[in-house]
Amino acid sequence: MSAQNFACLLYRLFLLLHPADFRRRFGDEMLWIFDMSSREGQTAYMLYDGVRSVFMQHARFDLQEEPADAFCLEVQTSGLTFARVGQATVLGGALLLALASVIAREMPPASVFNQKTTCQQSDELEPQANLETRQ
Amino acid sequence: MKLSSTNPPLSAAALHILLALADEDLHGYGIIQKAARQSQKQYRLGPGTLYDNLKKLMDLGLVVDSPGSLNSEDEKRLYRLTSEGRAILSAELDRLKNVLREAELTVRPRRPKRI
């Protein structure tokens, strides 16, 4: 899977996390704009905007809900629905996945870790032998 | 939305959207491109921010779907500024002109006092 496809998949995921009404109304257009903007090299900004939009939409959705009759210090658990927890889990997972893919790209190859050279051993090795192990 | 002198200032995104739609109907991507042009690419509008603001403006009756674009499925939806939206935009531009005038008077370097 290319980086572009992965980014597109991630953006679709972010779209899924938007409130259903907003998604039905603007989802296709947002995806189209993501495709157009990605061709101009703005993929990272589009992903950032997608995440920000998810939070903005849900924050607004929460504010629009009628406040419960409760004291100020009472914890309102009604807003923490199963769907909300699921969405947060998926969003967190997607972000972790993106982070992992970035880290994996930066990591050195596995062969580097397979070399059993400790500090003590490397001191004992002759310079010529040390070169051989690197090759 | 009633037009009055006490209207709160528009957000940067809302201002750019209304400004982009002032002289022609545009689809979402067109609005983004025009907003970038208007600000010499200093202000970037993402689709999330665009449609979040567009939805608010449509709920307030300042922007509507262009009637022609709703009939054809192939073409993208176009958005149109209403007369109320135009009045709000005009009021906001007047407000900004006043701010600029005040700013110029305040920031202008003072002459040193003669002793």
pLDDT value, residue B20: 95
A14-38: pLDDT as tens digits: 999 999 999 999 999 999 999 998 8
pLDDT value, residue A72: 38
Average pLDDT over every residue of B45-50: 92
User: Side chain identity at B29, as an amino acid letter?
Assistant: Y
Instruction: Supply the CATH classification number for the domain B12-107.
Output: 1.10.10.10
Give me the number of domains chain A comprises: 1
What tokens does B90 get?
Answer: 């005009």
Domain that holds residue A15: 3-64+80-109
What is the b/e burial string over B98-115, where b = at least 16 CB atoms within 10 angstroms of the residue's CB? eeeeeeeeeeeeeeeeee
Q: Is residue A97 part of a domain?
A: yes
DSSP H or E stretch at residue A102 = helix A82-106
Residues in chain A closer than 8 A to B47 (CB atoms) = 26, 29-30, 33-34, 37, 46, 49-50, 53
Q: Is A52 exposed, middle or buried (0-12, 13-18, 19+ CB in 10 A)?
A: middle
User: Among A25-29, A37-41, A129-133, where is mean pLDDT lowest?
Assistant: A129-133
Q: Does A46 touch chain B (CB under 8 A)?
A: yes
Average pLDDT over every residue of B10-35: 93
DSSP H or E stretch at residue B65 = strand B63-65
CA distance linking residue B52 with residue A109, whole number of Å:
44
Q: How far is CA B83 from CA A27, A92, B50, B86, B90, in A?
A: 27, 44, 21, 5, 10
User: Side chain identity at A16, as an amino acid letter?
Assistant: L
B83-103: pLDDT as tens digits: 999 999 999 999 999 999 999
Please indicate whether, in this complex, the C-beta atoms of B51 and A52 are within 8 angstroms of each other.
Answer: no
Residues in chain B closer than 8 A to A45 (CB atoms) = 44, 46
A55-98: pLDDT as tens digits: 888 876 655 554 444 333 334 444 556 667 777 777 788 788 87
pTM: 0.65
Nearest chain A alpha carbon to B75: A29
- List phi, psi (to 5°) of B113: -70, 140
Average pLDDT over every residue of A120-129: 53
Nearest chain A alpha carbon to B31: A33
Q: Does B50 touch chain A (CB under 8 A)?
A: yes
All structural domains of chain B with their residue ranges: 12-107
Please indicate whether, in this complex, the C-beta atoms of B46 and A32 are within 8 angstroms of each other.
Answer: no
